[in-house]
Chain A
Amino acid sequence: MSPEQILLIPKIENGFVLDHIPAGSGVKILNLIRGHQELNDAVLSVGLNYTSRRLGRKDLIKIQSRELPQRFLQHLSLVVPGVTIKRVEKFAIAQKIVLEPPELVDNLLSCPNPGCITNHERCVTTCFHLVRREPMKFRCNHCERWFAMTELENRLKL
């Protein structure tokens, strides 16, 4: 990070840095954070449209929170796969992982097909499988339709 960027977004003592977010996708993640109640009290610092050697432009989000809920991470890996998550402890990076798109999406989404039984039964568990990586496509285990991620983004079960 260059000195002027450090000025833009403050260092955090403890929490998480979501890095390598493709420019424009930061807003999607902010919406996702808002959808997860456990994170409603967390202090956020947001940087949009930084120059990045790898991505050209990128967004960056810092979350001052003790934990990131498992469900939030699963949703994040769906909506913006490839994000790097760094755990910060006492101003230092303690752990770093890259979120991969999930092979199996267990009850995180509702099905976009209005004729799918999962949209008509009470207490039903949905399941989607990753069937294609480029471009990313998921198949509903019930109605067997294939969906692009763009069709699933607004179907998150929060």
Chain B
Amino acid sequence: MKRDLISIEDLSEKHLRDYLELGKRVEGTSPEVCRKVLAGRILGVLFYEPSTRTRLSFEAAMLRMGGQVIGFSEALNTSVAKGESLADTIHTVEQYCDAIVIRHPREGAARLAAEVSRVPVINAGDGANQHPTQTLLDLYTLQNLFGRVDGLRIALVGDLKYSRTVHSLFHALARFKDVRFRFVSPETLKMPEYVIEASEGATTEVIETTSLEEAISDSDVVYMTRIQRERFPDPVEYEKVKDAYRLDRAALQNAPAHLKVLHPLPRVNEIATEVDSTPHAAYFPQAGYGMTMRQGILAHLLGGKL
């Protein structure tokens, strides 16, 4: 049966651990051998809205596995702009390639694509819903930095209300053992009840706070998010909270030595550049782990041997 990667909600704890194992296997394979794994295969990269970072990461991953890439990075000049349905676009593109990566502003677009496609589909973001490869690369980064995911104390900081990255990361982490959470956000950007309700890890510890300082002194990981203007219905609300949390060297003074700072990138000013040179900064390596993780994902879904 065809394999897709659409939503973290489809993945059990075992699936998540298997994906982490895949990343490790890519790491342990020489670049020369990697380049043979997907040689001759073509990845269709359909980005209906721009996201340079994610697209580059997927393309680099495919190239490193020896495959090639076709696609578009915005829908403006394509048949899509002329009113072609998503299903028709997929039926066309699947004739050209062996797997499809799709990013789309509508929620559920990747699921629909997977339903109609005969080749594997990977969700690279569907509106405010899911971005599963981001979540997997976050987990993989933790696994690499700490040698484990179980038992970590993780502070999720910033926009916990609108950030889908944080929602699916929370759901995924809650499936591991004894992960403890600090939710750090302004009152207006608190983690929604429905997200907590839908998490399957009923026994995990969650502490909500508005104090970043308190969370820093008591965590292994600080996961920062950008407070995104476009998510706010009311611009006045955005102005009130946009700089609520800013991480600089001073804020890290009482941090445990092993504390790592992650961020899905791009950052604006929620992490000062002076943090980059501290041993806590892990957000650029995180991008590197992201590519490795995606190499593993592509190999797995396309049936390449690792």
- Hey, which bits of chain A sit against chain B, CB under 8 A? 111, 113, 115-118, 120-124, 131, 140-146
Contacts and interface: CB of A to CB of B under 8 A. Distances in A.
A113 B107 contact: yes
B251 interface: no
B107 A120 contact: no
Contacts of A145: 107
Q: Which of A116, A124, A143, A144 has the most CB of B within 10 A?
A: A144
A19 to B, nearest CB: 34
A121 B87 contact: yes
B9 A117 contact: no
Interface stretch (B127-135, B155-163, B180-188): B127-135
Contacts of A115: 105-107, 127-128
A110 B265 CA distance: 35
Contacts of B128: 115
Contact of B104 (A111, A117, A140, A141): A117
Q: Which of B85, B107, B198 has the most CB of A within 10 A?
A: B107
A113 B197 CA distance: 19
A117 B86 contact: yes
A121 B85 contact: yes
Contact of B112 (A113, A142, A146): A142
Given A143-B129, A146-B198, A117 B106 contact: yes
B111 interface: yes
B201 interface: no
A142 B107 contact: yes
Given A115-B128, A117-B86, A121-B86, A144 B7 contact: yes
Interface of B: 7, 9, 85-87, 104-109, 111-112, 126-130, 194, 197-198
Nearest to A125: B115
Nearest to A119: B106
B198 A142 contact: no
B85 A140 contact: no
A21 to B, nearest CB: 30
A121 B127 contact: no
A117 B85 contact: no
Given A116-B106, A144-B130, 5 more contacts: A115-B107, A115-B128, A121-B112, A142-B107, A144-B107
A132 to B, nearest CB: 8
B112 A143 contact: no
B162 to A, nearest CB: 13
Given A121-B112, A144-B7, A146-B194, A116 B107 contact: yes
Closest 6 CB pairs between A and B?
A: A142-B108, A143-B107, A117-B106, A117-B108, A143-B108, A117-B109
A157 B36 CA distance: 50
A124 B105 CA distance: 17
A1 to B, nearest CB: 43
Given A117-B107, A142-B107, A143-B127, A124 B9 contact: no
B193 to A, nearest CB: 11
Contacts of B127: 115, 143
B111 A142 contact: yes
A140 B111 CA distance: 11
B112 A118 contact: yes
Contacts of B105: 115
Contacts of B107: 113, 115-117, 142-145
